[in-house]
């Protein structure tokens, strides 16, 4: 508020000082005005500064700028006319008090001189009001735009947190089901699986604090997850990694790759009697980071995300984080191979 008032007073002082300077320049250049003219000019501009300040107080007290646009126009016209007349009367009063009586105005009666003075003042008050209204109109629109951007950022942040809150329970329930299948069959392996799960949860909780993590960190979680799943599927699950080492520092959303791998096992490998393979690919292509998970299975013309939260959350998170610059697609590559692929902008890594 203090900064805003300071800016207002600077504009007031500079504006009326310029009015004095311009009027004095023309008076001195073309008509060689007497000394009383300059006294009248300075006193009238000082009065103008006070009057326009009072006018501003009235605009603020009446909350004119908060009213509908039609009402604002009405108030603008009325206030401009009222204060122009007031300014004209005060200008004539100042000239009368200091004894300034220009020859060009001596032929007019007092009411006529007040009318002429008010008419001249009308342009000054009109310009002042136009500047004041325009400034506040632009400032209000700018503030509304900033508020809108802040609101959108807050909504996006809340949406990301909501998505994350679904991801971890979704993963935990699937992992616990895998461990439960091992408890009676092989307690030793179950204990190992619990250790793997502990490592995964520890990593995922650290990742939860960030919007993105390096691919290497995400791969560590995926390897623990695949090690756990391999205990359940044994030889039915084959794992392949085709990772470009240059992509290991690229940032990706946490738990996103793990989600794709989890869905590949749930909807692909687990439905194949003889099992299948999981292939993870990370590479650069055409200034983009390509992250893909390929697995045995078929889509059968259905988009898997309709049946599960995981893949839908992938597209939602990409939209929120990359503002439409990242894409997610899932399709049949061959007769029995499904590919889930994420295409993200390449990030500069120090």
The model's pLDDT over 300-332, given as tens digits with 9 standing for 90+, comes to: 655 444 444 456 667 777 887 888 788 898 888
Q: With 70 as the cut, is the pLDDT of residue 161 above it?
A: no
Task: Specify whether the CB–CB gap between 75 and 132 falls below 8 A.
Answer: no
Scan for tokens 């299975």, then name that residue: 297
Task: Specify whether the CB–CB gap between 74 and 128 falls below 8 A.
Answer: no
Task: Specify whether the CB–CB gap between 279 and 333 falls below 8 A.
Answer: no
Domain-by-domain residue ranges, the chain? 2-149, 186-345
What is the pLDDT, as a whole number, of residue 300? 64
Q: With 60 as the cut, is the pLDDT of residue 159 above it?
A: no
244-284 pLDDT per residue, tens: 999 999 998 887 888 888 888 888 887 777 888 999 999 99
Task: Specify whether the CB–CB gap between 272 and 297 falls below 8 A.
Answer: yes
Per CATH, which fold does 186-345 belong to? Heat Shock Protein 90 (3.30.565)
What's the rounded Cα separation, in Å, for the pair 9 and 17? 12
Task: Specify whether the CB–CB gap between 312 and 293 falls below 8 A.
Answer: no
Query: Could you give phi then psi for residue 329, rounded to 5 degrees?
Result: -140, 145
């Amino acid at each position: 508020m203090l900064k805003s008032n300071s800016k207002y007073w600077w504009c007031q002082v500079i504006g009326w000082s310029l009015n004095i300077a311009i009027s004095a320049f023309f008076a001195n250049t073309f008509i060689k005005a007497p000394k009383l003219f300059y006294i009248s000019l300075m006193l009238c501009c000082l009065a103008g500064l006070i009057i326009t300040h009072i006018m501003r107080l009235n605009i603020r007290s009446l909350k004119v700028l908060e009213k509908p646009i039609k009402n604002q126009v009405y108030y603008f016209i009325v206030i401009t006319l009222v204060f122009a007349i007031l300014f004209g009367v005060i200008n004539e009063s100042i000239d009368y008090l200091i004894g300034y009586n220009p020859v060009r105005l001596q032929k007019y009666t007092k009411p006529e001189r007040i009318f002429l003075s008010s008419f001249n003042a009308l342009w000054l008050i009109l310009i002042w009001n136009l500047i004041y209204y325009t400034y506040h109109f632009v400032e209000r629109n700018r503030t509304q735009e900033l508020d809108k951007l802040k609101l959108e950022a807050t909504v996006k942040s809340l949406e990301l947190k909501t998505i994350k809150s679904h991801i971890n329970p979704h993963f935990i329930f699937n992992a616990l089901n895998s461990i439960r299948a091992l408890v009676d069959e092989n307690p030793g392996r179950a204990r190992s699986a619990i250790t793997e799960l502990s490592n995964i949860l520890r990593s995922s909780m650290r990742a939860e604090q960030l919007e993105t993590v390096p691919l290497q960190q995400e791969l560590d979680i995926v390897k623990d997850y695949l090690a756990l799943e391999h205990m359940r599927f044994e030889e039915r699950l084959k794992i392949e990694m085709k990772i470009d080492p240059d992509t290991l520092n690229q940032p990706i959303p946490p738990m996103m790759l793990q989600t794709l791998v989890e869905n590949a096992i749930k909807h692909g490998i687990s439905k194949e009697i003889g099992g299948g393979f999981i292939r993870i690919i990370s590479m650069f292509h055409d200034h983009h980071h390509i992250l893909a998970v390929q697995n045995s299975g078929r889509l059968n013309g259905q988009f898997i995300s309709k049946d599960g939260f995981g893949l839908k959350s992938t597209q939602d998170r990409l939209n929120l984080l990359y503002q439409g610059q990242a894409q997610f697609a899932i399709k049949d590559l061959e007769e029995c191979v499904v590919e889930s692929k994420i295409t993200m902008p390449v990030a500069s890594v120090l």
